[in-house]
């Protein structure tokens, strides 16, 4: 079969890249997308959120440049891109992350090998503090229960590859009502996994950057609000002891970072009741007591490829 005929048989892929005021990282992300060895049709939608679009990125074809026409923020930017595309599949890539060359080929192959599958993820390599740490799930599928029990950081937004038809009618678009788009990717993954397991390529196929410069790294007020939204809108999460304890501990950590010791204590107590050995609680207590700052805790965890 000729390369052209082979490409015609493969599903087309549209890549949504939301961006805001990070031109150098954006160009690196786009270069990595352009370097994919995938033989099917590839289209990229760069969505500028609360910043002026750069039409120069569209030179040479293959890239559409548009503005976020929906709710300001990450969720609205993603949806603007999804709705602008006409491809069979939709992938996400944040503007400070980079795909490895075989990412799309591996994921499309995994989707095609699993009849009825609607969503694929893959492993990641976390770059932080000059180190790179691989985070992989070690399993070919990620279930709804897996995502309730653990956020599974390797099921990262920049790994997402979904059928566009399911996004439009079934899973649904990214939820724009979540405060400051916090946890919007986890919410989407939960809704998808509730329908069908997520197909997972175990190898790390995305370089993910963790630092404090992200335009979408909001203040702790919005992080706490987003986590509380998740508990309120996902009853199965609130009912899962270890999973709910983890979220409660994260909320307690957020309040500790804000200096709201009373609220932090309430959520710490709730986490303890749900799971007394929740591993985040020592960090919460240390930050609430003023022994260490939340920023130092996060920096140390990120350097090891972990989050709070």
Strand 13-19 relative to strand 42-48: parallel, antiparallel, unpaired?
parallel
Among candidate residues 209, 236, 263, the one where a domain is terminated: 209
Q: How many domains does the chain have?
A: 2
CA distance 216 to 205: 22
Do 8 and 144 fall within a single domain?
A: yes
Average pLDDT for residues 265-275, to the nearest whole number? 97
Do 106 and 74 fall within a single domain?
A: yes
Separation in Å, CA 65 to CA 52, 113, 149 = 10, 33, 38
Locus of tokens 């509380």: 228
Is the per-residue pLDDT at 1 higher than 70? no
Q: Tell me the three state secondary structure of residue 162.
A: strand
Among candidate residues 174, 209, 244, the one where a domain is terminated: 209
Domain CATH code at residue 149: 3.90.550.10
Residues 6 or more apart in contact with residue 279 via CB below 8 angstroms: none
Structural domain contains residue 69: yes
pLDDT tier at 215, thresholds 50, 70, 90:
very low
Average pLDDT for residues 244-256, to the nearest whole number? 97
Is the per-residue pLDDT at 240 higher than 50? yes
Among candidate residues 154, 182, 209, the one where a domain is terminated: 209
Structural domain contains residue 178: yes
Do 53 and 28 fall within a single domain?
A: yes
The DSSP output letter for 11 is P
What confidence score (pLDDT) does residue 217 get?
A: 40
Average pLDDT for residues 46-61, to the nearest whole number? 90
Do 205 and 226 fall within a single domain?
A: no
Do 148 and 268 fall within a single domain?
A: no
Structural domain contains residue 92: yes
The DSSP output letter for 24 is H
Separation in Å, CA 219 to CA 190, 222, 234, 294 = 24, 6, 23, 12
Do 141 and 229 fall within a single domain?
A: no
Do 147 and 249 fall within a single domain?
A: no
- Identify the bridge partners of residue 89 per DSSP, sorted by sequence position: 13, 163
CA distance 147 to 129: 27
CA distance 246 to 152: 12
Q: Say if CB 18 and CB 91 are below 8 A apart.
A: no
Do 29 and 173 fall within a single domain?
A: yes
Do 76 and 112 fall within a single domain?
A: yes
Structural domain contains residue 33: yes
Predicted TM-score (pTM) of the model is 0.92
Structural domain contains residue 214: no
Q: Say if CB 21 and CB 215 are below 8 A apart.
A: yes
Do 33 and 79 fall within a single domain?
A: yes
Task: Count how many Cα atoms sit within 13 Å of the Cα of residue 110 in the half-sphere of its side chain.
Answer: 25
Structural domain contains residue 101: yes
Higher local confidence (pLDDT), 248 or 299: 248
Structural domain contains residue 307: no
Domain that residue 234 falls in = 220-302
What confidence score (pLDDT) does residue 128 get?
A: 84
CA distance 256 to 245: 16
Do 199 and 257 fall within a single domain?
A: no
Do 71 and 168 fall within a single domain?
A: yes
Structural domain contains residue 66: yes
């Amino acid at each position: 079969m000729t390369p052209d005929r082979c490409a015609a048989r493969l599903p087309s892929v549209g890549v949504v890249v939301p961006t805001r005021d990070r031109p150098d990282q954006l160009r690196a992300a786009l270069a990595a997308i352009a370097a994919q060895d995938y033989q099917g049709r590839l289209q990229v939608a760069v969505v500028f959120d609360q910043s002026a679009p750069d039409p120069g990125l569209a030179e040479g074809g293959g890239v559409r440049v548009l503005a976020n026409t929906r709710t300001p923020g990450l969720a609205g930017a993603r949806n603007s891109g999804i709705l602008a595309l006409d491809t069979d599949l939709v992938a996400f890539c944040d503007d400070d992350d980079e795909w490895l060359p075989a990412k799309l080929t591996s994921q499309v192959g995994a989707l095609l090998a699993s009849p009825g599958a609607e969503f694929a993820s893959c492993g990641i390599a976390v770059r932080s503090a000059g180190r790179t740490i691989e985070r992989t799930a070690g399993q070919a599928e990620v279930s709804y229960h897996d995502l309730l029990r653990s956020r599974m950081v390797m099921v990262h937004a920049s790994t997402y590859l979904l059928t566009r038809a399911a996004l439009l009618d079934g899973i649904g678009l990214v939820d724009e009502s979540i405060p400051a788009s916090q946890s919007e990717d986890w919410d989407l993954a939960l809704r998808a996994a509730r329908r069908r397991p997520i197909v997972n390529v175990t190898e790390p196929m995305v370089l993910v950057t963790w630092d404090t410069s992200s335009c979408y790294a909001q203040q702790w007020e919005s992080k706490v609000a987003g986590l509380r939204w998740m508990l309120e809108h996902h009853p199965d999460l609130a009912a899962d002891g270890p999973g709910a304890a983890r979220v409660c501990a994260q909320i307690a950590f957020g309040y500790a970072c804000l200096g709201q010791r009373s609220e932090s204590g309430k959520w710490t107590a709730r986490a303890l009741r749900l799971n007394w050995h929740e591993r985040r609680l020592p960090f919460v207590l240390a930050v609430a007591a003023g022994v260490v700052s939340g920023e130092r805790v996060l920096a140390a965890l990120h350097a090891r490829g972990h989050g709070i």
